Amino acid sequence: MMATGDWLDLRGWVEGLVGWSMDNVHDALPSKDLDLTVTISPPKGIWPEDILLGREVNLQDGFADMQPALEGLFSATMICTVVFTTMMLTMLPIPYIERKFIGRLMDRLGATTTLRSLWIGESGVTAGEWWNQLPFGMGAPIGWLNKTLNSIWGNDHELEAVSRVNNRGYHGYWFLLPGFFQAFADFTKFAGKEHIVPKDADRPVYEVAPVIIISTTVLVFAFVPFGPHFYVSSPELSVVFMMAIFGVAPLGVFFAGWSSNNKYTLIGGMRSAAQLTAYEIPLLITVLGVCVISGSFNVIEIVDFQAEESNVWNLFMLPLGAALFLITMIAEVERIPFDMPEAEAELVEGWWTEYGGMRWGLMFAAEYQRCYAACLLFALFFLGGWEAPFQGTMESLPLVGGGLEFLLALIPGIVWVLIKAWALFAVFVWIRASLHRVRTDQILEFGWQWLLPLSIVNLAIAMFLRVWVWDGSWGIVAPVVMILTGVLGLVILVVDEDKEALESMRRPYSTYAVTKAYPGRHPDTKLEDLQRQYKSYSAVKAASSVSLSDTEAGT
Amino acid sequence: MAEMWISMGPQHPMTHGLWTLKVKVDGETVVDTEPDLGYIHRGVEKICEARDFTQITTYCDRLCYASANTWSHSYIYAVEDLLEVEVPERAEYIRLIAVELQRIASHLMWLGAYGPDIGNLSVMVWCLREREMMMDLLQELGGSRMHYNFPRVGGVKRDLPHGFAQRARAKVSLFLDRIQEYEALFDESTIFLIRTQGVGYSKAEEMVNHGVSGPNLRAGGVNYDVRTAHPYSVYSELDWEPPVERPSIKGADCYDRYRIRVEEMRVSALMVLEALDKIPRGADTYHEPGDPAILAKAPSRAPEGTSGAHHFEDSRGESMFYLAGGGEGRGKMPYRASIRSPMFITIPYASKCMIGYKVADIPAIMGSFDPCIGETDR
Amino acid sequence: MGKVVSASNQKSAAESMASALSSMEGVDAEVSERKSGTSPRNIVSVDCSSENWRILAECMRVEHDVDYCSMITGIHWPEGSPDKNWEVIYHFMRMGVTDPPVIDGMVQPIIKDPTTLEGKEVPLEIEVRIAIPETRDPKVASVQDIWVGADWNEKETWDLVGIDFEGHVGMRRVLQPHETPVGFHPLQKQHKLRYHDFEEMYDDAQGFLRKPSDAGKIK
């Protein structure tokens, strides 16, 4: 089953450890039979024969009978614990990425300043030159790098106005990642809050709803492999089971919304149930496409297919599927642009308004866990899982291939999976910071009218690829054609060739915009240009019968 | 699902102030609305009957806290009408600069709140950042960041500080560039367009009959502006025109009301730059507070029987003060001060606009009318 | 230069409207010049009796295109002359706003050059004063059906001042709480502005905790 492997063989180690310890116990037990029989000789008048109680016991054999079950239990427990802990620990960067990345996007700092701001403050507020504290002068190159970057791309604007509002006070630990322990602080706070149940809420349903949501979310991680040997269980139909449990959460959401005795949560719960149901189906069909192209319903086999057999990441073979998976997953985890059910603009917090304390904390964590699961699944289904980028190519290079293969084998697969998942989560955050919220009926319309047909098209493409193109390998042409088709589709959708026609199509009634904005156009506008444009705008208005082309000609 | 009344507010993160909007919904569609105001009714009109004319300026700032300068100037012009005071021209220019800077700041606050209403969280931080620049300028002029107490009866409190013109030009020019970023974030986003176009139609004549004016009215396709129709201050000396929006066939929708305010920010910014160039005696001369170039001597009593009223173009519409002279202190205090708040009249109209749309459109529509409850409740 | 309505056009429009209105019974209109910074404004200032108010309102709306009700102010003059114990002051504006036309499927915004407006198109401010003699329940005809903008203004005037509007549908408290006692209208002059008593500063309504030396003090 596992063609790719790496040295982080968690299952093997745990099973080996448990087996070794059980064997030792087995050997330590006495191997002789123990005579635990007792013979009672009642008086002959009452009972004619002797009564034999007890029996002979061989501890070692008895233990040997139990050993497989015990081994299974212990190793399963240990693996579950380790995987769950890993999952929780590797989930900690997720809220960190969200907070920090959104903060930088909102501050419009730019890439260099953003990166530096992770450890250095701005506008004179810094953590001090912490690198000088490192022993043996190890920090000197860091200091040099810092000064060089500061002199080339300094973060002080020449206008003191801008510097003044750029000010991000730096509060954090001197080493590496300020703000990292915010997640712990958050959870401590949630744990300490009171559990309030609304007076007329339907109590059993109210209590059961968070249980459903949280437990199904955690259960998904039982089937998510972090590495080739780093998973809890991997049955043949693991994808099916994962998607099934992922889809139970809408039920919990609906329970939560209905049982809180609150009109807002009711509306939120209904919206959520409608939205999640609407996006489950394209999601499932897309995943089906991936399974078809990989030939298996098992996640590990899907990753192995990408790594070993096809040597191409599914992203390049099914770009449409990847895009669909991304969009439907964003809708499933209820992030902007699809977060209408919990939109604070109308519904305060939506279906989880009435929950407080740890229940809310855990549901909040469950939302991020679902996000994390979505990112991990994308990494596993489309991004090659635990394979390094260009791993096959690098290993087959003529001279350096052997060396690279050795280096790559040093890095356990889990590292690649995590890097891909976190990078994808950064994309989620980027989308969240830039886009607006879509209205519920528009979300549903989009899901049923656009995503569902597209996912079926994707499935057809996947079937075609697997049945007619797959020949033990893809051939050089297939991924290239797919990528080019995907890029072409993106170009057609995104680039507005005929801006004016597009304008009039999407808005037959246009505005007197003086300077139409498009990204990258600022910041060289001069005041005289603006004033000149304004004068021509007045002239244009005085004619009092302006068509679109006239407005555009004035700019 | 049967029809039910939902109460949005008074505790609600997105109603832009403290009021209740009771909405009758049938499923997801709004069938009826009923606004409920008065939660922050502070009795300003009654208080003004026991305050000097100079003391009332402080209260007027606090009417609409997001747009303080426009309200105190609205009051000051009414007092000058009542007391028949002639204001020096330099003071009028300084007032114009303050009012237009405040208008920019108010519209930025609106945009920064409207983005999160629609779902875009980043733009709040961006707009508040530009607002910081405007507030810095207003702080230099008026002394504090929000409630400046800037105009005086007969002029202004103090002159433009040293170096103000240079800083103002730099910041306003930077702001003009930054507007384009906001436009990119909103106009280029299909999601924003589908959320705001076709939502919340309002027609111009209907709006006028309902008492709506200002940017909400100009979004309907008419170029009525109090500054040009009932001229006051030195607006006639600057080269500007009120921006007008071309609405859709059914009326002005939320997108039009959004666009008009972006254009108004531009117009106000250009007006500030021009005023700094045209101000008499130059923007770099400084007069001490109380100098007759910036403050004329004004009587402090209004005899009984006199009255003063002034219509003013506030950030949200046409605001007005009516003062009846002859109150306490033998006329030092107004007998009656009556305040016209554009939002008090627009909020019921906006509530009517929501009928027929979805619940999810409520923040879009309400936000696009730019409510400010401070002035509504007075 | 910025285009604003010319003062002379406004003055002549105001004069023509004032003379037209004065010809009505019970109405006395004149043009009054107000100061506003650098340019004078001419407004139409009308005194009307409360019986003729409704007819005047309809005439203004229909014949003079007064389309915008700005504010309604109610004033209580307990020490005024016996026929001016209450006063209602209406402020209207003639904006001249019509719906922009639709040409070829696109709306053409109406951009008027203010300097060229004259006659009936000139925007005007109109102030109508109605004096009500001494009475316990002052009332005036409601104009809610003529200008919808008067609707909430009338509610506010009744709520705060106590002047009732006959024919107003849906009169209720708008700025004060709904449970305000009947007959309580704070802007009437018998309600004095209250400063907090010294006792209330102690957050102690009955005054159990106040210092003996502060007894009876008002701020």
| Token output for B274 | 């021009």
pLDDT in tens, B226-262: 888 888 888 888 888 888 888 888 888 888 899 889 8
Residue type, B135: M
CB atoms within 10 A of CB C192: 9
In angstroms, the CA A258 to CA C21 distance is 63
Q: Which chain C residues are Cβ-neighbours of B246 within 8 angstroms?
A: 106-109
What was the pLDDT predicted at B343? 92
pLDDT tens by residue, chain B, 378 residues: 578 888 887 877 777 888 999 888 887 788 889 899 989 998 899 888 888 888 899 999 999 888 999 999 999 999 998 888 888 989 999 999 999 999 999 999 999 999 888 888 888 888 888 888 899 899 988 888 888 889 999 889 889 988 888 888 888 888 887 787 787 778 777 788 888 888 888 888 889 999 999 999 998 888 888 888 888 888 888 888 888 888 888 888 888 899 889 888 988 988 898 899 888 888 888 888 888 888 888 888 888 888 889 999 999 999 999 999 887 777 788 999 999 999 999 999 998 888 888 888 888 899 999 888 888 988
Q: Is C11 on the interface with B (CB under 8 A)?
A: no
- Give the max Cα distance, chain C: 83
pLDDT in tens, A269-305: 888 888 888 899 999 999 999 999 988 899 999 998 8
Q: Is the dihedral of CA A260, A262, A264, A267 positive or negative?
A: positive
In angstroms, the CA C11 to CA C32 distance is 9
Task: Name residue, tokens 């459109």.
Answer: B361
In angstroms, the CA C201 to CA C117 distance is 59
Quick one: which of B42, B154, B82, B85 has its CA closest to B335? B82
Contact by Cβ (8 Å): C172, C155: yes
Q: pTM (2 decimals)?
A: 0.81
Contact by Cβ (8 Å): A35, A255: no
Cβ pair C68:B211 closer than 8 A? yes
What was the pLDDT predicted at A126? 54
* Strands ordered across the beta sheet of B3-8: B3-8, B20-26, B29-36
In angstroms, the CA A551 to CA A541 distance is 9
- The shortest C-alpha distance from B260 to chain C (Å) reads 13
In angstroms, the CA C176 to CA B45 distance is 13
Q: Is the pLDDT of residue A102 over 90?
A: no
* Parent domain of B55: 44-341
| Window A:512-531, CB contacts with C under 8 Å | 512
Mean pLDDT across chain A, nearest whole number? 77
Across the range A442-466, mean pLDDT stands at 90
Quick one: which of B173, B339, B364, B341 has its CA closest to B257? B364
Q: Considering just the CA atoms, what is the radius of gyration of chain A in Å?
A: 31
**DSSP designation for B230:** S
What was the pLDDT predicted at A128? 61
What was the pLDDT predicted at C205? 54
- CB contacts < 8 A (B, C): 197
pLDDT in tens, C115-150: 887 778 888 889 999 999 888 888 899 988 888 889
Q: Is C119 exposed, middle or buried (0-12, 13-18, 19+ CB in 10 A)?
A: exposed
Residue type, A249: A
CA atoms within 13 A of residue C10's CA, in its CB half-sphere: 26
Across the range C27-43, mean pLDDT stands at 79
Strand C124-132, strand C39-49: pairing: parallel
CA atoms within 13 A of residue C175's CA, in its CB half-sphere: 31
pLDDT in tens, B134-150: 998 999 888 888 888 89
What was the pLDDT predicted at C194? 63
Across the range A342-348, mean pLDDT stands at 61
Q: Is C113 on the interface with A (CB under 8 A)?
A: yes
Q: CA nearest C112 in A: which residue?
A: A542
Quick one: which of A110, C69, A43, A371 has its CA closest to B340? C69
| Token output for A378 | 């994308």
Domain boundaries in chain C? 7-97+112-181, 189-219
CA atoms within 13 A of residue B40's CA, in its CB half-sphere: 17
Strand A56-58, strand A33-35: pairing: antiparallel
pLDDT in tens, A54-91: 777 777 888 888 888 988 999 999 999 999 999 988 98
**Which pLDDT band, with edges at 50, 70 and 90, does A511 fall under?**
very low
Cβ pair C152:B237 closer than 8 A? no
Q: Which chain A residues are Cβ-neighbours of C106 within 8 angstroms?
A: 508-509, 547
Of C103, C106, C113, the CB nearest to A508: C106
Q: Which chain A residues are Cβ-neighbours of C108 within 8 angstroms?
A: 544-545
Range list of β-strands (E), chain B: 3-8, 20-26, 29-36, 151-152, 155-156, 307-314, 317-324, 336-340
| Token output for B115 | 């983005």
Contact by Cβ (8 Å): A256, A414: no
- Give the max Cα distance, chain A: 131
**DSSP designation for B252:** B
**Which pLDDT band, with edges at 50, 70 and 90, does A523 fall under?**
very low
Of A436, A510, A513, the CB nearest to B195: A436
Give chain B's domain count.
Answer: 1
Residues 6+ apart with CB under 8 A from A24: none
Q: Is the pLDDT of residue C204 over 90?
A: no
Q: Which chain C residues are Cβ-neighbours of B92 within 8 angstroms?
A: 37-38
**DSSP designation for A45:** T
In angstroms, the CA A68 to CA A65 distance is 7
Q: Is the pLDDT of residue A3 over 50?
A: no
What was the pLDDT predicted at C128? 92
pLDDT in tens, A190-246: 888 888 888 888 889 988 988 998 899 899 998 999 988 888 888 899 999 999 998
Q: Which residue has the higher pLDDT, A272 or A152?
A: A272
φ/ψ of B105, rounded to 5, equals: -60, -40
Of A508, A542, A545, the CB nearest to C108: A545
- The shortest C-alpha distance from B129 to chain C (Å) reads 31
Q: H helices of A160-237, where?
A: 160-165, 182-191, 203-220
Tell me the CA distances in angstroms from B189 to A63, A328, A517, A523, C23, one per residue in order: 68, 19, 12, 20, 58
Q: H helices of A108-156, where?
A: 111-117, 140-152
What was the pLDDT predicted at B101? 94
Task: Name residue, tokens 């807002």.
Answer: A264
* Rounded percentage of chain B residues whose pLDDT exceeds 90: 21
Residue type, A514: V
pLDDT in tens, A156-202: 555 555 555 553 333 333 334 556 677 788 888 888 888 888 888 88
Strand B155-156, strand B151-152: pairing: antiparallel
Q: Is the pLDDT of residue C86 over 80?
A: yes
Across the range A334-357, mean pLDDT stands at 73
Q: Is the pLDDT of residue A546 over 50?
A: no
Q: Is C116 on the interface with A (CB under 8 A)?
A: no
**Which pLDDT band, with edges at 50, 70 and 90, does A460 fall under?**
very high
Contact by Cβ (8 Å): B212, B342: yes
DSSP calls for B101-127: HHHHHHHHHHHHHHHHHHT--HHHHHH
Q: Is B167 on the interface with A (CB under 8 A)?
A: yes
What was the pLDDT predicted at A521? 35
| Window B:191-250, CB contacts with A under 8 Å | 191-195, 197, 239, 241, 243-249
- The shortest C-alpha distance from C9 to chain B (Å) reads 11
* CATH value at residue B125: 1.10.645.10
Q: What is the 3-state secondary structure (H, E, C) of A309-320?
A: HHCCCHHHHCHH
φ/ψ of C70, rounded to 5, equals: -90, -60
Quick one: which of A522, C5, A158, A527 has its CA closest to B277? A527
Top residue of C72, C148, C219 to mutate, by most chain B CBs within 10 Å, is C148
Q: Is the pLDDT of residue C210 over 90?
A: no
| Window C:119-178, CB contacts with B under 8 Å | 123, 125, 127, 147-153, 156, 160, 173-177
Task: Name residue, tokens 């590496």.
Answer: A176
Q: Is B75 on the interface with C (CB under 8 A)?
A: no
In angstroms, the CA A464 to CA A460 distance is 6
Contact by Cβ (8 Å): C56, C48: yes
Q: H helices of A342-451, where?
A: 344-347, 357-381, 391-395, 401-410, 413-434, 440-445
Q: Which chain C residues are Cβ-neighbours of B221 within 8 angstroms?
A: 99-100, 107-110
- Give the max Cα distance, chain B: 69
Cβ pair C103:A542 closer than 8 A? no
Quick one: which of C69, C49, C71 has its CA closest to C148? C69
Quick one: which of C2, A336, C135 has its CA closest to B274? C2
CATH, domain range C7-97+112-181:
3.30.460.80
Quick one: which of A255, A274, A254, A269 has its CA closest to A441? A274
- The shortest C-alpha distance from C51 to chain B (Å) reads 23
What was the pLDDT predicted at A506? 42
* Rounded percentage of chain A residues whose pLDDT exceeds 70: 77
Quick one: which of A377, A250, A364 has its CA closest to A326? A377
First to last CA, chain A: 64
Q: Is the pLDDT of residue A140 over 60?
A: yes
What was the pLDDT predicted at A502? 46
Q: Is the pLDDT of residue C65 over 90?
A: no
What was the pLDDT predicted at A433? 84
Residue type, C33: E
**DSSP designation for A227:** B
Contact by Cβ (8 Å): B263, A514: yes
Contact by Cβ (8 Å): A434, A102: no
First to last CA, chain B: 39
Q: Is the pLDDT of residue A120 over 60?
A: no
DSSP calls for B131-162: HHHHHHHHHHHHSSSS----EETTEESS-PPT
Residue A30: alpha-carbon gap to chain centroid = 52
φ/ψ of A447, rounded to 5, equals: -65, -50
Cβ pair A511:B259 closer than 8 A? yes
Q: Is the pLDDT of residue C200 over 80?
A: no
φ/ψ of B248, rounded to 5, equals: -85, 175
| Token output for B138 | 């207003």
